[in-house]
Structures are given as structure tokens and as C-alpha cells.
Chains A and B, each alone.
Chain A
Amino acid sequence: MSVEYLHKTRITNHTGFQRAVGYIVNIFSRFSIEGKIGLFGLFLVILMAIFAPLLSVHSPEKITGGTLEPPGTVHLLGTDELGMDIWSQICYGARMSLFIGLAVACIAGIGGGALGILAGYSGGPVDQLLMWVIDVIMALPAFPLLIVISAFMGPSILNVILLLVLFSWAKPARIARSQTLSIKTHAYITAAQNYGATPLYLLRRHILPEILPILLVLIIGITSYAIIAETGLAFLGLGDPTSKSWGMMLNYATHFGSIYFTPYWQWWLLPPLIALIILLLCLAFISRDLEKVLDPRLRQNGGV
């Protein structure tokens, strides 16, 4: 491999990177007000998750006050039935919800996307088998199955993530596959192949740039799906009892006997509820604006 060639590739990589940055900046600059609010909100929640130890005085897992204290100066949002600080639980809970949501979305989005591209590119029996599996998974009633399988597998974060990935990789795979199929038919791909382009080069240069933006939209969608599903499971009592996610907080609060006849719900039930709704709305705003910006690509994905 000549030095000249290496030099050339570095230049193309560099411009490619610049192009990608420019592309992303361009997308975000075309966001509406709602989308920008969504980005800002998500940014705040991420900051809250990262700097949870700095933002909270008390440990979320230690008894630091009296039982069910109302909000005050010592405990910003009051305490729960065990005397644990609710504000720190919210801060640390943001970690849990975001981590599960993003982990599931990245694994399912990238893994599913890769499988879809592979199937679409290679075709034949691999493609048929994958489509068959996708059809079955998409027809399965996801939430009831989630409940039953996690009831058997036992509550742990890893299990929840694995299960959610299992139920959410099908959609990105399907869309990546149909996109790859439609890209493959273009004349410029044939032209590139005639010039001796390897499959890897085609993938990097032609297929990925087309598919990545769509995968990004899907990943954000899967993030909120995973957060909702994790909250639902935790709310039913199937969350990891050692971790305090926002769903677990809802579960403890609503299962506290006669909470609705007391004022406790005001500072015990409302904070996780509001936090979850804000996070989900932000994700939805971002996802809708991304979709709007990338709309012409999304529309041609072959009736998914």
C-alpha cells in the first residue's frame, strides 16, 4: 500500500468526518422550537444523570430522615416511607432509566441494522430466514410476553435489557433491509462495483450514509419504548429491587396502602411521574423533528 494512497484515504476520512458533523449541525439547525426544547430537556436529564452525586446531598439508598417527611430545606422533595430522600432517588433514577433506554436502543438499533443490511445485501436463504424471524417477532404480543418471561427469569437489569433488545431489533432490521435492497438497485452501485469497489467500500461509502440517519430516528424511538417498557415492568413489581428506577419509585408509592387518602402522593408519586413524562415528551419532540427533517428518506422505505 503506497504512502500516497494512505494519504488520500486520510483526506477522504477527514472530509467525511467534517461532512458528518456539518450534516448533524444542519439537521439540528432545522429543528422547530419544540425540537429544540426537547434537545435541551434531554440534555438536562443527561446532565442530571451524570452529576447525580453532585446534585444530591443524601444517598438515595440510605435512611437519612424521618418517614414520609414533606418537602423542606433538608430534604428538597421530602422522604419516602423508609425515610430516603426523594430528590436523590430522582437524580439516580435518571441514570437507570436513561441507561436502560439507551443501552437497549443502541444494541437493538445497531445490531438489528447490521443484520438487516447483511440480509439485504446478501439476499438468498439468509435473507429469507431473517425475514421469517422478523415476521414472527413482530406478530408476537410483546408486552404480555415481556411480563411472563421476566417473571420467570427473575428481576435484574441485564435480563430486562436483553428481553427488550429481543423484542425491538426487528423493526430496525426490517427497515435497514428494505433500504439496502432499494439502494442496491441503483445504477451508481453497479458502476462502483464495475470499478472494483469491495462490499466493505460500498457499505462505508454508499449504504451506511443512507441508512444511519434512519437508524438514528429509530434508535430514539426505541429509547422511549424501552424506558416505557422498563417503567411498566417495574411498576408491576418486575424491576430490579436493588436499583431505584423511576418505575420502581412509582411501584413503591402506588403500593403503599391508602396513599391516595393521605397527602403523601404529592411528593412521593408526583416527582417520578412528572420526570418520566418530561423525558418521554422530550424524546418524542426530538424524534418527530428528526423524522420531519429526514422525511423524504423515510417515505421511500417500502411500506413498512
Chain B
Amino acid sequence: MIEKDKQILISRFLITLFVILAINFFLPRMMPGDPFSTTSSNIQGEDVVVMTQEQRMYYMNYYGLDRPLPEQFITYLKNIATGDLGKSISYKMPVSDVIRIHLPWTILIVTGAIIVSTILGIALGTFSARNRKKSSDKLMMTGLIAFAEIPSFLLGIIILLIFGVYLRLFPLAGAVTPFAQYGNVLEQAGDIAYHAFLPILTLSLAQLTGVYLLTRNTLITVSTKDYIRTARAKGLGEKVVWTRHALRNALLPLVTRTGFIIGLLMGGAILVESVFSYPGIGLTLQTAVVGRDYPLIQGILLVVAISILLCNLIVDHIYRRLDPRVTV
């Protein structure tokens, strides 16, 4: 049974991956025209270089575009497997290098947001569950639910306007101070944290409500269980009952939630990085979109999609380890 579940999970992962690869491969080939109509003229359409039929055939042959589509697709898969994602037009270097430079910044703010939103969400959720039906719980819940309806990039603009523009507490753009000379590593880390603060705040606030509601609801369900009564009857303090007995059992759903969050955060990060001009993969994607740098766009899609799928797969796996009752 468990082996079968694993097979289902992995086959679903592979199918989704294949669909993404296929979209990536066929999308540019479905567009009207061919690559040579764009490389043979500049953007304004001036200096048109007219290719003769022989020249066109030569280049089609050179780039392998005259082969049958299935063969091209296999070549494409081979290239990706070896880490060759093509060359970026605007950066004038391999796509994989561009991604390698910018991905760490995105990982930094996404990880930061996961940590902050999880800790804060659990703390607020526990507080809310312990004060259930009191006015503080109701107020917090209504406020946070309304808050969750604001998409992360709009929230980002508001936060930027308040902290960056109005109060002038935080920088408006960038991940480090330009041309800064750091005395030691600590100073550098401080500068990076200072720049990452607002993006992390935005992303974690956008995810906070989900964690909060899940913690609160699971805790309320758990708190009616017999073993909680037993723990109280043993004479344990309220604090120990809530943290050691209730919260520990309520943490399980949070694991899946975290995996689910990663996908949302990666999607949200693309826009939030744009708001804060934070040089992660999202901002790179935006510049690529504006500059019509198709190889880079496709490379970034691939990396983002694969990391989201992998996270989901890993989380599913961990979750089933933690709770053997779960089936697909």
C-alpha cells in the first residue's frame, strides 16, 4: 500500500515535470515566424538582412531546427539534464550562471519568510486558541483574515510606502549598500539583513494568516482530546499542557502547510522582489520579460517550477513518515 502511494506521488511528480518541460519546449516553436526573422533585423526593423534560401537552410541545419520535433525535444531534454539552459540575450552569459547569481537572494527571503511566518503564526495561533471566544481572539482573527485578502505585492507597496518612503527607516531598493566596504563578516551580514528586512516582512505577513488559522483550529480540535484532560488531571501546568501536549500534536498539519507555502512564496516573491527591486530571481524574470529575453524566461520558469515540485514531493514524503495513516 505504502509502496503504491510512493509510486503515485513520484509518477505525478514526473508527469507534471514533463508537462512543464513540454510547455517550455513547444511554446517558442508555436509562435509565428522563426528565430532568424528576429536575429536578422534589429528591434526597430531597420538594417534588415535578407537571408537567401540557402543561408536560411544552413542556419536551420546549424541549429538543428530542420530535424523532426521529437528528435529536437530529446536534444532539449539532454541539454537540460546536463545543466545547459541556453544563453541569455540581455546578460550575454549562460542562463544557468545568471540564475546561480540571483537565486540565493530569493532563497534568502523565501526561507526567512517561512521561518518568520511559521514562528509568528504558531505563537499567535496558540495565543488565540488559549483565549478562545474572548474578545482578543475574535479581534485577532477578524483582523488577520481581512489582512490575508491583500495580495503580497500590494502589501509590499504599502509596506514600502510606510517604512521606506514615509518613515525612511529602510532602503527602497537593492540587497546590499552599493560600493560598501565591510570591516568584517558581521557588518556585511547586518547590511544584508537590513536590506532583506522589508521583503521578508512582506512575504511573511502575507503567509501569516494561513499558519495562524491552521494552528488555532488544530489546537482547538486537539484540546478536546482525552489525553489533554489526562495531562491536566496529572496536575501539569497550563503552559506545559499547551506546549508539550497540545502543540506538539498540532504541528503535523503545519508540515504540509510549509510545503504548500513554498510554492505560494516563490510565486509571491517574483512580484515582491519587483516591488522592492530586490535582485533575486523574480526581479531577473521581470527584466527578462521586459527585455524579451526568452531563454532566460524559460530557464527561470524551469528552475522555479522544479524547485516548487521538489519541495512538494519532499514534504509529502516527510508527512507520510510522520503520520503513517495518511494515504494519497
A residues sitting closer than 8 Å to B (CB atoms) are 135-136, 139-145, 147-149, 151-152, 224, 228, 231-232, 235-238, 250, 254, 260, 265, 269-270, 273, 276-277, 280-281, 283-284, 288
13 new A-B contacts at CB < 8 Å, known A148-B298, A232-B153, A237-B289: A136-B12, A136-B19, A139-B312, A141-B308, A144-B285, A148-B27, A151-B292, A152-B31, A228-B151, A236-B289, A260-B165, A265-B161, A281-B150
Most buried by B among A139, A260, A276: A139
Q: CB < 8 Å: which of A140, A149, A232, A269 contacts B16?
A: A140
Q: Which residues of A contact B145 (CB under 8 A)?
A: 288
Say whether, besides A144-B301, A260-B164, A281-B146, A237 and B16 are in contact (CB < 8 Å): no
User: In whole Å, how far is B315's beta carbon from the nearest beta carbon of chain A?
Assistant: 13
Per the bound structure, the CA–CA distance linking A232 and B273 in Å amounts to 12
Decide if A250 touches B28 in the complex (CB within 8 Å). Answer: no
Say whether, besides A136-B15, A235-B271, A236-B274, A145 and B150 are in contact (CB < 8 Å): no
Give the A-B contact count at a CB cut-off of 8 A. Answer: 106
Say whether, besides A224-B149, A277-B154, A140 and B12 are in contact (CB < 8 Å): no
Q: Which residues of A contact B247 (CB under 8 A)?
A: none
Majority SS at the chain A contact face? helix
Q: How large is the interface on B (under 10, 10 to 19, 20 to 34, 35 or more residues)?
A: 35 or more
Decide if B290 touches A237 in the complex (CB within 8 Å). Answer: yes
Closest 4 CB pairs of A and B: A143-B267, A284-B149, A139-B16, A148-B301
Most buried by B among A135, A145, A273, A288: A145
Decide if A147 touches B270 in the complex (CB within 8 Å). Answer: yes
B residues sitting closer than 8 Å to A (CB atoms) are 12-13, 15-16, 19-20, 23-24, 27-28, 31, 145-146, 149-151, 153-154, 157-158, 160-161, 164-165, 172, 263, 266-267, 270-271, 274-275, 285-286, 289-290, 292, 294, 297-298, 300-301, 304-305, 308-309, 312
Decide if A236 touches B149 in the complex (CB within 8 Å). Answer: no
User: In whole Å, how far is A62's beta carbon from the nearest beta carbon of chain B?
Assistant: 26
Q: Which residues of B contact A144 (CB under 8 A)?
A: 266-267, 270, 285, 300-301, 304-305, 308
Decide if A145 touches B271 in the complex (CB within 8 Å). Answer: no
User: In whole Å, how far is B174's beta carbon from the nearest beta carbon of chain A?
Assistant: 13
Q: Which residues of B contact A228 (CB under 8 A)?
A: 151
Q: Which residues of A contact B150 (CB under 8 A)?
A: 277, 280-281
Decide if A145 touches B23 in the complex (CB within 8 Å). Answer: yes
Decide if B305 touches A141 in the complex (CB within 8 Å). Answer: yes
Q: CB < 8 Å: which of B158, B286, B308 contacts A236?
A: B286
Decide if B158 touches A273 in the complex (CB within 8 Å). Answer: yes
Decide if B289 touches A238 in the complex (CB within 8 Å). Answer: yes
Per the bound structure, the CA–CA distance linking A276 and B146 in Å amounts to 14
Decide if B153 touches A265 in the complex (CB within 8 Å). Answer: no
User: In whole Å, how far is B172's beta carbon from the nearest beta carbon of chain A?
Assistant: 5
A135 nearest CB neighbor, chain B only: B12
Q: CB < 8 Å: which of A136, A145, A277, A281 contacts B305?
A: A145
Decide if A140 touches B19 in the complex (CB within 8 Å). Answer: yes
Say whether, besides A235-B271, A254-B275, A273-B154, A265 and B165 are in contact (CB < 8 Å): yes
Decide if B19 touches A232 in the complex (CB within 8 Å). Answer: no
Q: Which residues of A contact B308 (CB under 8 A)?
A: 141, 144
Q: CB < 8 Å: which of A145, A236, A270 contacts B301?
A: A145
B281 nearest CB neighbor, chain A only: A144
Per the bound structure, the CA–CA distance linking A238 and B291 in Å amounts to 12
